Amino acid sequence: VGEGDPAILNLPAYSTTLGKPVAANPYGVPSRFEANLQRRESPGLTRVSQASVAFAPLQGLFGIITPSGLHFERHHQGWQDIDPAQHRLMINGLVKQPKVYTMDDLMRLPSVSRMHFIECGANTAMEWGNVAVPTVQYSHGMLSCSEFTGVPLSVLLEDCGYDKKNGKYILAEGADGSSMTRTIDITRALDDVIVAWGMNGEMLRPENGYPLRLVVPGVQGVSWVKWLRRIKVGDQPWATKDEAVHYIDAMPDGSYRQYTSIQECKSVITTPSGGQRLLDKGFYNITGLAWSGRGKVKRVDVSVDGGRNWRTARLEGPVLNKCLTRFNIDWVWDGGPCVLQSRAIDDTGYVQPKINELRAVRGTRSIYHNNAIQSWQVAASGEVSNVQVY
């Protein structure tokens, strides 16, 4: 007492010495004190790391943009670093003039830059039956949000003279070894789909599809074909392996839903969240993310008593179409056990369901499209853990 804080009283070396010169890191990197903030692979989730996921550390991110180096990764057959000078995009099928574009051809066309979330359809997949993972990184980290830059797909389809009468679908194909192909209906393809080379002001990172990927706003990540090399126009859906065997929803009656592409309205509290520890009773900012594949987030409600009472959170602007929205709400923790939840509502009026409401319709055999309300339990010790509340 009375001795003062040595962090203030003792002059540190950085206040008395010459710092590092400019351009010591010509492409900047985070502080060495942030080394714990990383994409992480869930141990044992898949047999090989080439067909796996690295989850984004949502608990450590602010605002709505995911730094490019922390954008989640999901590959079926590993990632490649493709020479843009060698890369080509072919458009064929039901078009007047099939064409092959180089990157230079594409980048001279009129471009757009738009902020959108991308969520893997398998995000939160492990939680269908019971609590399976400890942190928000593993429960919700197949989610990222960036500003994407590229040419609208509609410009390219017009350029090739797509068949307006019979061209009902497109097939997008990647250049990696996974034979990744996805069908997209022509109405969506002409609406807001982008053939993108830019992400957050720089070229795409190799892990995220450099030099070219498809951006399909509001739709599950699998349709955002990376290392995009071909778009084919056709008159019916292709029902490829990634549409017929994988990325289908097992229903309780034994049937399977196919082509359930839209990521429905969802939200999650990122702090406090599983694996964190509150210091002491008193004031905390509860913060999280909300999104909807159908449009804008209209409202987010937060409960601190397991869903009995709800208060409306503040939405931080900008609130954009098919984009992450940050929410915040003040909370004074009384030091007792409690359960924190968030519930998002989008501008179509859709309300994010409770896990038991979702299970009543979907059963528990699904992998994809779990958009249930997430519950975090705060113990009297301050420890936060993943729980399911019915």
Asked if residue 210 binds ligand MTE (CB under 6 A), the reply is: no
Which tokens sit at 65?
Answer: 């943009």
Q: Compute and round to an integer the Cα radius of gyration of the chain.
A: 23
Longest pairwise C-alpha distance within the chain = 83
Q: Find the shortest distance in angstroms from Cβ 282 to ligand MTE.
A: 38
Alpha carbon distance 390, 381 (integer Å): 24
Asked if residue 221 binds ligand MTE (CB under 6 A), the reply is: yes
Q: Find the shortest distance in angstroms from Cβ 268 to ligand MTE.
A: 17
List 101, 224, 284, 333, residue binding ligand MTE (CB under 6 A): 224
User: What phi, psi does 241 have (nearest 5°)?
Assistant: -55, -35
- CA proximity to 374, closest of 291, 303, 285, 317: 303
Asked if residue 230 binds ligand MTE (CB under 6 A), the reply is: no
Asked if residue 178 binds ligand MTE (CB under 6 A), the reply is: yes
Using the minimum distance from each CB to ligand MTE, give the nearer residue, 232 or 298: 232
Asked if residue 227 binds ligand MTE (CB under 6 A), the reply is: yes
Asked if residue 215 binds ligand MTE (CB under 6 A), the reply is: no
Query: Tokens 């710092």 — which residue?
Result: 19
List 87, 114, 116, 226, residue binding ligand MTE (CB under 6 A): 226
Report, in this order, helix, strand and coil percent for the chain, each rounded to 5. Answer: 15, 35, 50
The b/e string for 81-106 (b: 16+ C-beta within 10 A; e otherwise) is ebeeeebebebebbbeeeeebebeeb
Which tokens sit at 310?
Answer: 């709800």
**Which region among 17-25, 70-78, 152-160, 189-197 touches ligand MTE (by CB under 6 A)?**
70-78
Alpha carbon distance 117, 131 (integer Å): 25
**Which region among 14-22, 173-181, 294-302, 366-374 touches ligand MTE (by CB under 6 A)?**
173-181
Residues 95-124 that bind ligand MTE (CB under 6 A): 118, 120
Asked if residue 208 binds ligand MTE (CB under 6 A), the reply is: yes
Q: How many residues contact ligand MTE, by CB under 6 A?
A: 20
Which residues 6+ apart lie within 8 Å of 69 measured at CB?
A: 30, 205
SS3 184: strand
List 75, 116, 296, 359, residue binding ligand MTE (CB under 6 A): 75
Using the minimum distance from each CB to ligand MTE, give the nearer residue, 128 or 376: 128
Using the minimum distance from each CB to ligand MTE, give the nearer residue, 324 or 384: 324
Element (H, E) at 256: strand 256-257
Asked if residue 141 binds ligand MTE (CB under 6 A), the reply is: no
SS3 271: strand
- CA proximity to 207, closest of 101, 54, 58: 54
Asked if residue 222 binds ligand MTE (CB under 6 A), the reply is: yes
Asked if residue 243 binds ligand MTE (CB under 6 A), the reply is: no
Q: Find the shortest distance in angstroms from Cβ 23 to ligand MTE.
A: 29
Residues that bind ligand MTE (CB under 6 A): 71-76, 118, 120, 174, 176, 178, 180, 207-208, 221-222, 224-227
